[in-house]
Structure 1
């Protein structure tokens, strides 16, 4: 069945003469969606046959397990992406003072600033377009993640309008699509569960779209007073919170000596920090909860993976947070936060190592590092030769 779907989709994607990148991406997604859908379906049926797992929710467990497997496979690409970002940030920090000096010297002369900046980049062997290389890992991951998204939709037999159809060997409507406290994670807005007469929210049709269930609740005191009702908010809120934390961890700290390119990158990251959480929160209320479950699982796993690679990164956490002082070779250093790295930096604020290689300096204070330079001066005992010279005088 999977092979038949791939053969059917191949002519539409690769048969045309005017092949373009969109066709490649569409074909790649079509190649991935059916194996992923098959895996979710197979795991769902396997979990349904095992009592304890069936009680938790076979389809929800299958979505979680599939998401974990895919995120584990994408972990090396995520590491590559973070290493690329850190390399670009170090390169930009290296030339930032010279670029700022050029900007001040040729203020208002756009062409001259561009020419001199190109010379600085050439002297240091840095490509001004190196920041674009950070997009490559993201482009590699997108087809896989979209394939997972469409694979879930195929298994529950749903098209873009939310109506049921069979484009894949979708699980039957009678299958147990429950997960934990969610009665059915496969439903979309406007869909009810068969002929059910009970309701999670009293007086509302039993739908499993967060948005419709909450919108039809007129008695808000009753809505928030029941734990089962509040549970409807857990998936969207956790998803938005996880994406916010993950975005803050990736975000480059602002420094006074940033170059124009660094400021543009940081400004773009600021937009992502708030856009992704808000978007995930919004879709969490209108998507079927199975897709929200996938997005939430992926976001939480990404936070853990990013912590493994670079600690808390750009997220400044209190010292009492577990792992607040953890650093790696990809962690942001004190200089990334605008503080000059000094030999006396103890790194006690939990923001990263004092050295640029990611290793925390051992010892405390080490005041002997700041001894006065050689030669006569205040506070230094005179040498034997100096004492003899004074006696002769």
Structure 2
């Protein structure tokens, strides 16, 4: 079922698009990546909107939160600390704040897509024997692997900046682990896979900038550059 529903459609799409570009499978993978990202884009924009709404709500209750957290810090009584924690939850409910409601749908959609594309790449003799730019799509390549890791590091830094400050701190380690995991996973995989990640990561950086233009009209490309740095 997995082969029929996911792998075969990707194989057919990659081969079909490659034919349009004189059997250039590198360009075909880039086009497939852009199509996938464009399909996911509405979900990602909605997720970004939810992040901005959550960030705004948390900023509005921050003074009250700071007071309660200061009480927790100064209290040594566990029951009293639990009482203050309940006050925080009550404050969340009062203002409709749910830090966990960030939207997992884009991630859930991407996982089967990534698996289908991965096995389509590995199972295609044409892709395995085709070269693109300086590397063979069917063989591991350190250069494109490092590019994919760097691009995703930049993308995660840009994306995390839209999260509330507390969540930025919580996800700081994840921001480092994700690019490392991409490099580890790609280093022994066909170079077509990190090519997919590199193109997808670049798309996500510009998507983040577009999201900020839509939901934060006062932001500029200079702000984006500062956040990456």
TM over 0.5: yes
- 1:165-209 deviation line (CA, Å, top 9, x unaligned): xxxxxx497xx5111222x3113xxxxxxxxxxxxxxxxxxxxx3
**Which is higher, the Rg of structure 1 or of structure 2?**
1
How do 1:1-393 and structure 2 match up within 5 A? 9=1, 31-47=5-21, 50=22, 54=23, 58-106=24-72, 107-108=75-76, 109-124=80-95, 126-127=96-97, 129-156=98-125, 171=126, 176-182=129-135, 184-187=136-139, 209-210=140-141, 233=143, 235-252=144-161, 263=166, 265-310=167-212, 327-330=213-216, 350-351=222-223
Structure 2 gaps, min length 5:
225-229
In the alignment, structure 1 segments of 5+ residues that lack a partner are 1-8, 10-26, 157-170, 188-208, 211-231, 311-326, 334-346, 353-393
Residues 273/186 of structure 1: CA separation in 2 closer, same or farther (3 Å cut): same
For 1:289 and 1:272, how far apart are their aligned partners in 2?
A: 24
Given that residues 88 and 130 in structure 1 are in contact (C-alpha distance below 8 angstroms), is that contact kept between their aligned partners in structure 2? yes
CA drift of 1:83 comes to: 1.0
Q: Contact conserved, 2:137 with 2:190, CA < 8 A, in 1?
A: yes
- When you count helix as a share of all residues, which structure comes out higher? 2
Question: Post-superposition shift, 1:245?
Answer: 1.2
Provide the rounded CA distance (Å) in 2 between the counterparts of 1:74 and 1:105. 43
Deviations 1:304-339 (A, max 9, x none): 2222222xxxxxxxxxxxxxxxx5424797xxxxxx
- The alignment covers a number of residue pairs equal to 219
Query: The residue matched to 1:134 in structure 2 has which SS?
Result: coil
Shift of 1:283: 3.1
How far does the alpha carbon of each residue in 1:153-175 deviate from its partner, in whole angstroms, 9 at most, with x for none? 2334xxxxxxxxxxxxxx497xx
Give the CA deviation at 1:350.
Answer: 4.2
Question: Quick one: distance in 2 between partners of 1:251 and 1:332?
Answer: 19
Q: TM-score, normalised by structure 2?
A: 0.80
SS of 1:118's equivalent in the other structure is helix
Residues 82 and 330 of structure 1 are in contact (CA less than 8 Å); yes or no, is this contact kept in structure 2? no
Distance 1:172 1:67 in 2: 15
- 1:134 deviates by 2.9
TM-score by length of 1: 0.49
Q: What's the CA shift for 1:130?
A: 4.2
Q: Distance in 2 between matches of 1:172 and 1:244?
A: 27
